[in-house]
């Protein structure tokens, strides 16, 4: 154990970051797998509520140990509410997409959030995109079109793909609002207000679409919430002291893990058009990320 600790402490920060992101990429799809499995019995809105509520419950012990009054104090409540509503839109669309799409396909379409960040930056930040980035966005969405094929057994329809893209769009909005909030708010403050706002917002849809839920299913949702929380923490640790362009390619291994989980749990086998479309989306988004990092330097 001491030898392992010594080796770990001597590791390059980029290697540590890569490992953390890799672990996060293996953990995130576990949450997706549980949610997809549960959509066979429960409505996505019901799942979304309990995911957010349990996420809040997990946070409470941590907050109680870290000056709760200080964490609750904020001068940016309006932006917290906006961020919370964007988050609700993202999780509702994301869980609905999981109920309609193969696991790996849902994960792949989630990467289009990077494509949405560019037009959002134009609208709200006044950023002028380079011609190459515009071309890459178009290529990325062409990858989405390649994935869609209602005629094969996977049944990836335009409707299902649009739901997944709406979820990705809301995730992009979340990222922009969180980026603004981090300039003055702690991570715990942002997470706490999101937990409160999302739980309250999802309560009514949960009641409307309520179905009987067993203790075992509640435990599975709680496990999904734990996996999501752990994956988020691993991502933060991975990005903290490492170079983004070095560690973020590991995030795309999420697609590999999702493919493995989907094959063994749901017997999902990707078709050629899904593989080609996924490659197109991944290449386009990776180049956009690389260009963003070069621009920052």
Q: Is the pLDDT of residue 152 over 70?
A: no
CA distance 129 to 31: 35
Q: pLDDT at position 148, please?
A: 86
Q: pLDDT at position 129, please?
A: 67
Q: pLDDT at position 245, please?
A: 65
- Best CA proximity match to 14, nearest among 296, 193, 250: 250
Across the range 250-262, mean pLDDT stands at 92
CA distance 83 to 178: 7
Across the range 206-216, mean pLDDT stands at 93
Q: Tokens 């490992």 — which residue?
A: 19
Residues contacting residue 109 through CB under 8 Å, at least 6 positions apart: 97, 101, 144, 147, 161, 164, 165, 168, 281
Within the chain, residue ranges assigned H as helices are: 2-9, 13-38, 44-64, 68-72, 77-100, 103-110, 113-125, 131-147, 158-181, 187-208, 215-240, 244-247, 253-266, 272-296
Q: pLDDT at position 154, please?
A: 66
- Supply the pTM of this predicted model: 0.88
3-state secondary structure of 267: coil
What would the pLDDT profile of 100-143 be if each residue is shown by its tens digit?
Answer: 999 999 999 999 998 898 788 777 766 676 788 889 999 999 99
Q: State percent of the chain over pLDDT 70.
A: 93
CA-based max dimension of the chain: 56
Confidence bin at 249 (pLDDT 50/70/90)? confident
Name the more confident of 157 and 206. Answer: 206
Q: Is the pLDDT of residue 240 over 90?
A: no
Q: Is the pLDDT of residue 38 over 80?
A: yes
CA distance 134 to 131: 5
Q: Which of 70-84, 111-125, 256-270 has the lowest mean pLDDT?
A: 111-125
Q: State percent of the chain over pLDDT 90.
A: 53
Q: pLDDT at position 279, please?
A: 93
Across the range 191-214, mean pLDDT stands at 93
Q: Is the pLDDT of residue 70 over 90?
A: no
């Amino acid at each position: 154990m001491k030898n392992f600790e010594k080796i770990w402490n001597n590791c390059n920060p980029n290697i540590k970051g890569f490992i953390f992101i890799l672990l996060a990429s293996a953990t995130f799809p576990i949450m997706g797998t549980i949610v997809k499995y549960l959509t066979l019995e429960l409505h996505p809105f019901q799942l979304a509520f309990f995911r957010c509520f349990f996420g809040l419950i997990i946070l409470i012990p941590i907050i109680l140990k870290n000056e709760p009054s200080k964490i609750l104090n904020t001068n940016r409540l309006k932006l917290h509410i906006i961020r919370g509503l964007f988050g609700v839109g993202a999780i509702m669309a994301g869980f609905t997409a999981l109920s309609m799409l193969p696991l790996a396909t849902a994960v792949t379409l989630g990467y289009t959030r990077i494509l949405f960040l560019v037009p959002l930056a134009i609208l709200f930040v006044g950023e002028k995109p380079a011609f190459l980035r515009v071309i890459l966005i178009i290529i990325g969405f062409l990858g989405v079109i390649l994935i869609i094929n209602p005629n094969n057994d996977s049944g990836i329809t335009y409707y299902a793909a649009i739901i997944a893209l709406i979820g990705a769009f809301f995730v992009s909005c979340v990222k922009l609002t969180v980026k603004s909030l981090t300039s003055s708010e702690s991570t715990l403050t942002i997470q706490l207000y999101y937990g409160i706002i999302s739980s309250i917002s999802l309560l009514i849809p949960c009641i409307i679409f309520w179905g009987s839920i067993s203790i075992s299913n509640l435990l599975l949702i709680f496990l999904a919430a734990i996996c999501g929380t752990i994956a988020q923490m691993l991502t933060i640790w991975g990005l903290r002291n490492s170079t983004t362009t070095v560690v973020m390619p590991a995030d795309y291994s999420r697609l590999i893990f999702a493919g493995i989980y989907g094959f063994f749990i749901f017997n999902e086998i990707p078709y050629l058009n899904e593989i080609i479309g996924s490659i197109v989306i991944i290449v386009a988004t990776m180049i956009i990320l690389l260009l963003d990092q070069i621009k920052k330097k």
